[in-house]
Amino acid sequence: MMIKKAVLALTLLVAFAFDAYGAELFVPDHHSTIQEALDQAAPGDTVTVKPGSYSENIVIKRPVTLRSANGPASTAINAAKKDEPVISINDATGVSIEGLSATGSEVAGIRLTRSSGVSLKGNQTTENLYGIALYDSSDNKIESNTADLNENYGIYLEKSHRNTVVKNSASSNGDRGIFISASDSNTVIGNTANLNTWNGIVLWSAKGNIIRGNKTLRNTYGLVLTESSGNTVDENTSLPNVFIILPILLIYLGILLYLVQKYALKFLYRS
Amino acid sequence: MQEVLLDLISIFSNISIVLASIGLIIATSSFISGLQLVKAASRIEGRIHKFNGIATIAIYAVLFILSIVDHGFRLWPIIGWLSGLSIVLLKLKIVRGRKKRARKYISWMGACLVLIWLYIVYIHIPL
């Protein structure tokens, strides 16, 4: 009797252990499309995408991890329908997306709607209308993504609160790098928003956000706050010291060169 | 201080910023010698001005070509480069011409060229 109970306990322990880690599904090995794998995945499972180019519009509603095997440079998802986001996360919690490239959508590369606890890490969302867009989505983490070369905004937050946006690149976008609209208590730290047509980082009707240590170089306006209050804005850079020191130094060297040339020629003519 | 020095050294990581910096140094020297020439004709100042002028035009041309090689034929950059070149050519035309009224503005055009070089340096600083 004791042995039976021990075997049963061990079996349950092993079953729970497997359940805690979740299964791993591979695309295209186990499933031909990413969406098919996601539909088959149970909460807590991981869908690993092998290198290649995939033409899909992915919708995620369960707490799963979607990641690439080799990073965004070799794993690209192009929008099959251009009027839909490449990856949509709707009404979901605990979703994680890592190391994927999402391009070619006239809506967004990755769009979160009414979602929380989502982690976006190391993704590349280029050449969409918006790179990463959050609507009514709170307590998410957006880290080390590249949201460059999009038609409008790199990273866009609307009515989304307490999100963490760190170490992302939102550069060379057609309008703004990072746009925080009607969103409160977000933390925006260590991002790069350079070379955007209009603004690097914009806060519009936003309260209690922390904007710290971001780089906003060569935009029309670096950092713009409109109808916003109670935000902490510090240690951001729009014009580094070197941009001022270098030209002054070069002009000094120019004056020095003139004097050297003048005295050298005088010496030559005299001799 | 050490941080600023390291920043300055790390900037010179590509050929464009090195060339732009040399261009600004020579353009400054050329501008000063030009101002001296406006005050009084001098053989030495004339030589310095001519040599520096040719050198800056050559560097400008190399940077223009590098810009096209790196970024392709894009409308606004090309318009910008050609506008700068037109100011250089206009200055040359005034210097070689005999209209005294036009010569009044030669110092301003020289200052304009230094400003163009400042912008070229600014735009080439790697981010």
Q: How many domains does chain B have?
A: 1
Residue B42 within any structural domain of the chain: yes
Residues with Cβ within 8 Å of B30's Cβ and at least 6 positions away in sequence, in order, are B48, B49, B52, B53, B56, B110, B113
Residue A149 contacts B where some CB pair is shorter than 8 Å: no
Decide if B4 is inside a domain.
no
- Is the four-CA dihedral B94, B96, B101, B105 of positive or negative sign? positive
Helix (H, G, I), strand (E, B) or coil at A130: strand
pTM for this entry: 0.79
How many Cβ atoms are within 10 Å of B96's Cβ, its own excluded? Answer: 7
Domain span holding position B44: 15-123
Question: Is position B97 within any domain?
Answer: yes
In a domain, B7, yes or no: no
Q: Which two tokens stand for residue A266?
A: 């005088």
Evaluate whether residue B106 is within a structural domain: yes
Check residue B11 and give its pLDDT. 81
ipTM of the complex: 0.90
Question: At how many degrees (to 10) do helices B106-124 and B75-96 cross?
Answer: 150
Going across the sheet that includes A221-226, the strands are A58-60, A87-90, A108-113, A130-135, A153-158, A176-181, A199-204, A221-226
Chain B residues touching A148 at Cβ < 8 A: none
Residue B10: inside a domain:
no
Contact B44 A195 (CB under 8 A): no
Q: How far is B35 from chain A (nearest CA, A)?
A: 12
Task: Tell which wins on pLDDT, A176 or B11.
Answer: A176
Give per-residue pLDDT as tens, A21-80.
689 999 999 899 999 999 999 999 999 999 999 999 999 999 999 999 999 999 999 999
Residue B48 forms contact with A (CB below 8 Å) = yes
Is B29 contained in some domain? yes
Residue B3 lies in a domain: no
